[in-house]
A and B are shown apart, each in its own frame.
Chain A
């Protein structure tokens, strides 16, 4: 139990502002991570597609 009035004041300030600060950081990081993650996933998919196409091309040129 905090009895020092000054400290109690300080804590109450922290308590009113922390959700905003935490929210700001959470949004910032969540958006960045999700965006980069999605881009990486798409990149992986495209890479796979390209490999399929390239192997098809190789097979064709070998066949000719």
Chain B
């Protein structure tokens, strides 16, 4: 017991220091990556768009998703706002320091507009430093749970059931955190709160699997039977989760993909530190819960001794 709590505290301190360092690195050292380009006009008259329609839509959608500019679509002399109907002309109204400026989407693309252009800063990417480590760890701990479940089925030793259960608890915590941060990132990057995209879907299924694991545990009376059932289910779930991920790619998907490219060293280092820190946290939580279970066992033992 003593040793598990000691280990937990060491891991907590290590995790705390590392995640703080990663946090500082992510915000004050690593730069902000660009996410496409924004070209702004110093001043522009309304310019009619001549190029292919699809391209213009792509360009303008970037803007509407992330900045909230109005898109004006001119079709057959009529003007629709924000509606991406088939149109002859597409205008983008920019709000600049000098008032509203209308430019065509083609000008963004071609860079012909009189004005400056700059990279679009992707602040939402800051979520990445912690979201991705948390997601990875949830999967790793799920793996541990499945491994301990397998060990349990082979040996029938209660300690493996306990380990599997606690791993599953940590998985649940991290999966929920992944979902929460993921949803926020989805909103920042794609402009919607939810999308049935492979990763999100897989995590949704995984959340359900982990919840189902605990539903199953609660529904079985006999302790050993509960352990066996839970073990079997967690193994099935661990096989199922990757299949879920790959199969969701069957669905045609049309949302923009984040171009992450290679990470610059400051970003990469912050990311790795965050990863190690989060692993330490996961380990700390695991050990804390383990200590709790061991304490409970000792209390049970003392109680039976007293009752005798």
Instruction: Report A-B touching, CB under 8 Å.
Output: yes
A6 and B188 form a contact (CB under 8 A): no
Is the beta-carbon distance between B97 and A3 smaller than 8 angstroms?
yes
Cα A42 to Cα B5 with chains together (Å): 13
Cα A3 to Cα B264 in complex, Å, equals 31
Q: Shortest Cβ distance from B265 into chain A, in angstroms? A: 22
CA distance A42 to B192 in the complex (A): 39
Do A43 and B292 touch across chains, with their CB atoms under 8 A apart? Answer: yes
Say yes or no: B118 contacts A9, CB within 8 Å.
yes
B155 within 8 A of A: no
Which B residues, 253 to 283, have Cβ-Cβ distances below 8 Å to chain A?
281
List which B150-169 residues lie within 8 A (CB) of chain A: none
B184–A46 CB distance below 8 A? no
SS of B interface (majority): helix
B112 located at the interface, meaning its Cβ lies under 8 Å from any Cβ of chain A in the complex: no
Which of B81-89, B125-133, B212-220, B222-230 is the interface stretch?
B125-133
B290-308 CB mask vs A (1 if < 8 Å, else 0) is 0110011011001101100
**B67 with A27: CB separation less than 8 A:** no
Q: A27-B180, A28-B130, A43-B288 are in contact. Are A8 and B97 (CB under 8 A)?
A: yes
Q: Are A10 and B121 in contact, CB atoms less than 8 angstroms apart?
A: yes
Closest to A25 in B: B130
Is A62 at the interface (CB under 8 A from chain B)? no
Does B71 belong to the interface (CB within 8 Å)?
Answer: no
Residue numbers in A under 8 Å from B176 (CB-CB): 31
A19 CB → nearest B CB, Å: 9
Please give, as numbers and ranges, the residues of chain B lying within 8 Å of A2 by CB-CB distance.
97
Residue pair A39, B177 in contact (C-beta under 8 Å):
no
- Whether B96 lies near A28 (C-beta < 8 A) is no
A2 smallest CB distance to B (angstroms): 8
**CB atoms of A32 and B281 under 8 A apart:** yes
Interface residues of B in 178-230 (CB under 8 A from A): 180-181, 184-185, 187-188
CA distance A27 to B130 in the complex (A): 11
Q: In whole angstroms, how far apart are the Cα atoms of A24 and B180 in the complex?
A: 7
Residue from A17, A35, A46, A53 within 8 A of B188 (CB atoms): A17
Known: A43-B5, A50-B302. A16 touches B292 (CB 8 A): no
A1-41 contacts to B, CB under 8 A, are 2-6, 8-10, 12-14, 16-18, 20-21, 23-25, 27-28, 31-32, 35-36, 39-40
Residues 42-61 (chain A) with a chain B CB within 8 angstroms = 42-43, 46-47, 49-50, 53-54, 56-57, 60
Given A6-B116, A14-B123, A20-B185, CB of A53 within 8 Å of CB of B306: yes
| Residue contact B40 to A9, C-beta cutoff 8 Å | yes
B121 and A8 form a contact (CB under 8 A): no
Cross-chain contact A53 with B299 (CB below 8 angstroms): yes
Q: Is the CB of B96 within 8 A of A5?
A: yes
Asked if B241 lies at the interface with its beta carbon under 8 angstroms from chain A, I say: no
Contact: A16 with B306, CB < 8 Å? no
Query: Known contacts A21-B184, A27-B181, A39-B292; can you find 5 more A-B pairs with CB under 8 A?
Result: A9-B118, A16-B67, A25-B130, A32-B177, A36-B288
